[in-house]
Amino acid sequence: MTVSSDSGSGLPTHTVKGPLVDPSVHSDGEISFRDIADLVWSGRWLILVVASAVLAMSLFYVWTAKPQYKSMGLVQAEQKEKGLGSAFNELSAMMGSAGVSGIAAEIAIIKSRMILGTVAEKMKLPIKVRPNYFPLFGEAVARRRADFLQPAEPPLGLSKFAWGGEKITVSVFDVPESLQDTAFRLVAGSEGGYSVVMPGGLGTFDGKVGESVAIKLGDEQIRVFVQELRARAGTEFSLLRRSPGQMYSLMQTRLTVAEQAKESGIIQITYQDEDAAAAAAVVNVIEDEYLRQNVERKSEEAEQSLQFVNKQLPEVKTSLEEAQAKLNSYQLDKGTADVQKETDLALNRAVELETQRLGLQQQREAALQRFTLRHPIVQTLDEQIRALGAESEKLKDQVRQLPARQQEIFSLMRDLKVNSELYVTLLNSSQQLQVAKAGTVGSVRIIDRALKPRSPSAPNKGLIVSGAFVMGLFIGLVMVFVRRALLRGVDRPDEVEQKLGLPTYASIPFSSQQRRVNQQQRGSKVSSKILANVASNDPAIEALRSLRTSIHFALMESGSNVVMLTGPVPGIGKSFVSVNFGAVLAMGGKRVAVIDCDLRRGTIHKYLDGEAGSGVSDYVVDANLSHDSIVRKTPIEGLVLVSRGTTPPNPSEVLLHARFSDLVARLSENYDYVLLDTPPVLPVADASIIGQLAGCTLVVLKSAEHPLRAIEETIRRLRHSNVEVKGVVFNQVGAKMGSYGYYGYGYGYDYAYKY
Q: In Å, how far are 251, 269, 282, 291 from 450, measured between CA atoms? A: 17, 9, 9, 15
pLDDT on residue 7 = 36
CB atoms within 10 A of CB 157: 6
Report the pLDDT value the prediction gives residue 277, as an integer from 0 to 100.
95
Assign 39 to helix, strand or coil.
helix
Q: How far is CA 701 from CA 59, 78, 538, 632, in A?
A: 44, 84, 20, 28
Q: Is 279 exposed, middle or buried (0-12, 13-18, 19+ CB in 10 A)?
A: buried
Identify whether the C-beta of residue 723 lies closer than 8 Å to the C-beta of residue 696. no
Cα dihedral across residues 441, 443, 447, 448: positive or negative: negative
So what's the pLDDT on residue 102?
A: 81
Q: Report pLDDT for 32.
A: 72
> Among residues 637, 702, 418, 671, which one has the least CA distance to residue 555?
671
| φ/ψ (deg, to 5) at 174 | -105, 130
Number of neighbouring beta carbons within 10 Å of residue 73: 21
277 sits in the region (left: phi over 0; alpha: psi -120 to 50; else beta) called: alpha
In whole angstroms, give the CA distance from residue 519 to residue 73: 69
Q: What is the pLDDT of residue 329?
A: 73
Write the secondary structure of 268-329 as one string of H (helix), E (strand) and C (coil).
EEEEEECCHHHHHHHHHHHHHHHHHHHHHHHHHHHHHHHHHHHHHHHHHHHHHHHHHHHHHH
Report how far residue 359's alpha carbon sits from residue 302's, in angstroms, rounded to the nearest whole number. 18
CA distance 283 to 271: 6
Residue 583's nearest CA partner among 608, 610, 603 is: 608
CB atoms within 10 A of CB 375: 15
Per-residue model confidence (pLDDT) at position 753: 44
The H or E element containing residue 267 is strand 266-273
- pLDDT, position 15: 36
Element (H, E) at 653: helix 651-656
Integer angstrom CA distances of residue 478 from 31, 282, 748: 17, 46, 27
Average pLDDT, the chain: 82
Strand locations in 483-608 (E): 504-509, 562-566, 592-596
pLDDT score of 741: 42
Residue 442 gets the label, from left (phi > 0), alpha (psi -120 to 50) or beta, of left
The 3-class secondary structure across 109-178, one letter per residue, is HHCCHHHHHHHHHHHCCCEEEEECCCCCCHHHHHHCCCCCCCCCCCHHHCCCCCCCCCEEEEEEEECCHH
What is the per-residue pLDDT for 539? 87
Residue ranges in the chain whose pLDDT is less than 50: 1-28, 81-85, 93-100, 337-339, 740-755
Question: What are the residues whose beta carbons fall under 8 Å from the beta carbon of 195, sequence distance 6 or more?
Answer: 186, 187, 189, 204, 205, 206, 207
Spatial CB neighbours of 159, under 8 Å, sequence gap ≥ 6: 232, 234, 235
